[in-house]
Amino acid sequence: MATQSLGVILVDTGIPSVLDAKEARKYLYAYKLYTRVTPVNKPIWFFAPASAMALICLVIIFAQGTLPSFLIFFGITLLFAALGGASVFIKKVLEKYRHIWLNDESSYAARHETIVTSLNEAFEEEQMEACAKVAYAYSHPTIEEIMQDLRDEEIKNLVVLPLCPQSSYARTSVIKEALERSVKKLEWSRPITFVDNYHNNPTYIKAVSGSIRYAGFDHESDDRLLFSYESVLLSDIVAGDTFELQTGATSLQVASDLDLERNRWTIGYQNRYAKKRKWLAPFTSSVLSRWAEGGEGKVYVVCPGYAIDNVETSVNVGTKLKQQYIQNAAKYDKQLTEDDFVYIPCLNESKAHVNVLLDVIKSTVK
């Protein structure tokens, strides 16, 4: 293979590599049990669906059987309860992921590959000796696997670019930690640049505002715009996570580019994984509930914190929250249709997105 001066790894969270229960379990084990995503005791998280059934069986068997039989049957009951509870949960997860799969191949993965292909073509047009590849934080190919490939291609410098425009402890740190482990294991000695965020990159801001206009948003109408980002723990914010500041800066710059008055847009946060903990608010669902009660015009929702559409965006926002918004509006005698709620897709494999990534990379290696 030809020697390249620069290797680029685009890193995203990933999804199960195959749409079946076994692969879903592997993915969820890696994702949900990462402490910054679901900061609870691992065994408790896994066995939670089984706890109620096991407790009931415990009382019944203990009352009617001897201690040895109790121990045997309780163990069997707990195992089946856990597997049954996990099975129900996995089925729900797979049902969500079916929304972003296409012809037995993940459109999510296919979009990443399209971006890589387009980015490598852009490198050639710019006469840059560079090679881009994609890796995932919770599935394959991993950062370590891609670093091994790039080392075999004898690249001289490496740029690791998480597809997280706004960095956070929960999303960006897992990528940074995986990179550090890979460097140590592979005994990597070549220079590495880690791109922490690109939340205020001018090309990125223009691309997001362009996608909003393309979706039909009219700044001269009564349309309202909601920027929805993945929520983070308030404890992370207290500890120094600048995610909230970055989301605010991105939203303000995009709104300014759209020439929007402040009362026409707001910010919401979604996807709380452990609801008993304190999360960054206001929540996207709460904002939409308030808007369903009052206000005119269409509602547009954009998720600038995600590079590629996934379950959290196209399913949770584009489908579930849309249905909830229309149902809530009906409670106030407002008869809305699906056209009154517009989910704006992520930048995905668009040319505008490729231009964003190219600009971020070029500014990084100056």
Per-residue pLDDT tens, the chain, 366 aa: give them. 344 699 999 999 887 665 665 565 555 555 554 555 555 454 544 444 444 444 444 444 455 555 455 455 445 444 444 444 445 555 655 565 555 555 444 588 889 999 999 999 999 999 999 999 999 988 889 999 999 999 988 899 999 999 999 999 989 998 999 999 999 999 999 999 999 999 999 999 999 999 999 999 998 899 999 999 999 999 999 999 999 999 999 999 999 999 999 999 999 999 877 777 899 999 999 999 999 998 778 999 999 999 999 888 988 999 999 999 999 999 988 989 999 999 999 999 999 999 999 999 999 987
The predicted pLDDT at position 366 comes to: 75
Same domain, 94 and 210: no
Same domain, 218 and 345: yes
In a domain, residue 158? The reply is no
The predicted pLDDT at position 345 comes to: 96
The predicted pLDDT at position 94 comes to: 53
Q: What one-letter code names the amino acid at 173?
A: S
Please list, in sequence order, all residues whose beta carbon lies within 8 angstroms of the beta carbon of residue 288, skipping any fewer than 6 positions away. 226, 268, 299, 301, 321, 324, 325, 328
Prior bond of 68 cis (ω within 30°)? no
Q: Which residue among 38, 69, 102 closes a domain?
A: 102
Same domain, 216 and 345: yes
- C-alpha distances in Å from residue 226, one per residue of 116, 270, 301: 30, 12, 5
Q: Which residue among 60, 81, 102 closes a domain?
A: 102
The predicted pLDDT at position 98 comes to: 59
Q: What one-letter code names the amino acid at 296?
A: E
Q: Which residue among 102, 127, 160 closes a domain?
A: 102
Same domain, 93 and 213: no
- Domain membership of residue 70 as a residue range: 21-102
| Number of domains observed in the structure of the chain | 2
Q: What is the dihedral of CA 75, 79, 81, 86, to 10 degrees?
A: 160
Same domain, 211 and 91: no
The predicted pLDDT at position 49 comes to: 46
What three-state secondary structure class fits 136? Answer: strand
The predicted pLDDT at position 276 comes to: 79
In a domain, residue 274? The reply is yes
In a domain, residue 187? The reply is no
φ, ψ (nearest 5 deg) of residue 195 = -85, 110
Q: How far is CA 41 from the centre of its chain?
A: 22
The predicted pLDDT at position 284 comes to: 97
The predicted pLDDT at position 21 comes to: 58
Output the pTM of the full model: 0.83
Same domain, 81 and 219: no
The predicted pLDDT at position 82 comes to: 46
In a domain, residue 60? The reply is yes
The predicted pLDDT at position 100 comes to: 55
In a domain, residue 50? The reply is yes
CATH number of the domain residue 283 falls in? 3.40.50.1400
In a domain, residue 262? The reply is yes
> What radius of gyration, in Å, describes the C-alpha atoms of the chain?
23
Same domain, 206 and 345: yes
In a domain, residue 311? The reply is yes
Report how far residue 147's alpha carbon sits from residue 292's, in angstroms, rounded to the nearest whole number. Answer: 48
Tokens of 215: 């979706």
In a domain, residue 43? The reply is yes
Same domain, 209 and 331: yes
